[in-house]
Structure 1
């Protein structure tokens, strides 16, 4: 299995990357070609759709950054981790929990995202 903490970090790097070309390179690096991303607000498939979703999130939350919210837990081809979204150095505004399934090449094939804390 790939270094899952490094993969989770690169995944969050993609969410944080503001340059469209650099973000797309990260999406291509960490996601399988036909990957699916699902959370309470989105359900998309494929790198193009995931890249567009990340760009939309950046527009919705300018100046905020995603970070790991604790250790990454994994077994077999699955991993789970908490993430935080907020300004650097402050308490997170949003807290979430993602479960990812990896393909045979160690790329993310599916994300099931959950929102634990959201602004009112």
Structure 2
């Protein structure tokens, strides 16, 4: 398994951890202290802000889980990967892809997120 594949596994684990204390630890293990996370709906920096964002997303989509949508495509210290959010083992409700940059310690320092499928509002 590549360093980037391991980083993405830690990334997904942090987004799936629902216990606030364990989630904060997972965020600290997966992301650099000065992480910058940007997607069409959010822009945050640092562990506390990212942890808060993850908690808010879990509140919006209770019971759903993030999973990998395919292989990680990486070179140098950057990579892109598709993720899915939905009921375990079922069709995802949301699909997106992220471009991430690893820091020297192997933790993710930047995430640029894109949403490919989102639920209809209303």
TM-score by length of 2: 0.95
2-side partners of 1:7 and 1:35: how far apart? Answer: 13
- How far residue 7 of structure 1 moved from its aligned partner, in angstroms, is 1.2
2-side partners of 1:68 and 1:9: how far apart? Answer: 8
**Large movers: runs of 4+ above 3 Å:** none
Number of aligned pairs? 119
**Partner SS for 1:34:** strand
Instruction: Report what 1:9 is aligned to.
Output: 9
2-side partners of 1:80 and 1:108: how far apart? Answer: 12
**Partner SS for 1:112:** strand
- How far residue 49 of structure 1 moved from its aligned partner, in angstroms, is 0.2
Instruction: Report what 1:92 is aligned to.
Output: 92
**Partner SS for 1:113:** strand
Alignment of 1:1-80 (within 5 A): 3-80=3-80
Q: 2:102 matched to 1:102?
A: yes
Q: List alignment gaps of at least 5 residues for structure 2.
A: none
TM-score by length of 1: 0.97
- How far residue 39 of structure 1 moved from its aligned partner, in angstroms, is 0.1
**Partner SS for 1:97:** strand
**Partner SS for 2:48:** helix
Q: List alignment gaps of at least 5 residues for structure 1.
A: none
**How big is each residue's C-alpha offset from its partner over 1:33-79, in whole Å with a ceiling of 9 and x where there is no partner?**
11100000000000010000001011000010000000001000101
